Amino acid sequence: MIIKTNHFEFEKVNWKNLEELRLLRNTPVIQNYLVNKGEVSEEQQIAWFKKEDTINNHYFIAKKNNGVIGYCLLRHIDYEVSLAEPGTFIATEDLFDSSMAALFMISFMDICRFLFGIKKFYGNVLATNNRALTNYEWFGADKEINKDKNEITLTETESQPYEQSTNKIRKALGTLYDYRFDITIVMDKLVDNELCRNLFLSLANHLPSDIRSKVKVEIEN
């Protein structure tokens, strides 16, 4: 299954591309920004994915112009209260400090917000990851410092919702890249299991009409 935007493709991780995710995670570039460091073996990756492959955890390999640029995740989803932990990781160093990195982050966060309907985000970031901490300032997140683990827990504030806090950067990206939330979900019956297909069909079909008009669904094979 692939979620396409005007600028990126987010290919859902499955048993066929799981090794690609492992290799990405083990690169020195990605390792620098992970809270849980350490090289992952093939056996560890398989054992991990057996536990993680549920409707509450989604991992995506991110591509631009058919080239892999990183990966994203939305995990620990609580559908009852619309709470989840997102994450974006760029493996291409020349994108780090570019406006394209901001576009990448907003594109995926919009998927989390508008497709999955997540109303509140949270997550842990290394205290040394200044780039991520700067980016998360767009969201007006509350910060809780854990000096023992060298981590900072970021939680979206209820007083400043996502749409409001990202309005400025969204306008800038609209000017630079003609950005807008507009996605196509492509499902493959030969690759995506029925549970996965039903979940994304349900997510799309239950969207408010103004958002549903911006979401297309295609089923192959």
Q: Which pLDDT value is given to residue 122? A: 78
| Residue in 61, 58, 36, 25 with CA at minimum distance from that of residue 125 | 36
Q: For the chain, how many residues are written? A: 221
Largest separation between any pair of C-alpha atoms in the chain:
51
Tell me which residues of the chain have a pLDDT lower than 70: 124-160
Q: Which pLDDT value is given to residue 144? A: 66
Q: Other CB atoms closer than 10 Å to residue 8's CB: what's the count? A: 23
**Angle, CA 74 vertex, CA 42 and CA 9 arms, to 5°:** 80
CA distance 42 to 91: 20
Q: Which pLDDT value is given to residue 128? A: 67
- Any idea what DSSP says for residue 115? I
Whether the model pTM is above 0.85: yes
Q: Which pLDDT value is given to residue 187? A: 95
Residues 151-181: pLDDT tens digits? 555 565 665 677 888 888 899 999 999 999 9
Phi-psi region at 52: left, alpha or beta (left = phi > 0; alpha = psi -120 to 50): alpha
**Which residues are CB-neighbours of 166 under 8 A, at least 6 positions away?**
106, 109, 138, 139
- Could you tell me if 70 and 90 are in contact, meaning their C-beta atoms sit under 8 angstroms apart? yes
Q: Which pLDDT value is given to residue 93? A: 77
Q: Which pLDDT value is given to residue 159? A: 57
Q: Which pLDDT value is given to residue 154? A: 57
Q: Which pLDDT value is given to residue 13? A: 97
Q: Which pLDDT value is given to residue 51? A: 96
Token output for 217:
């669904």
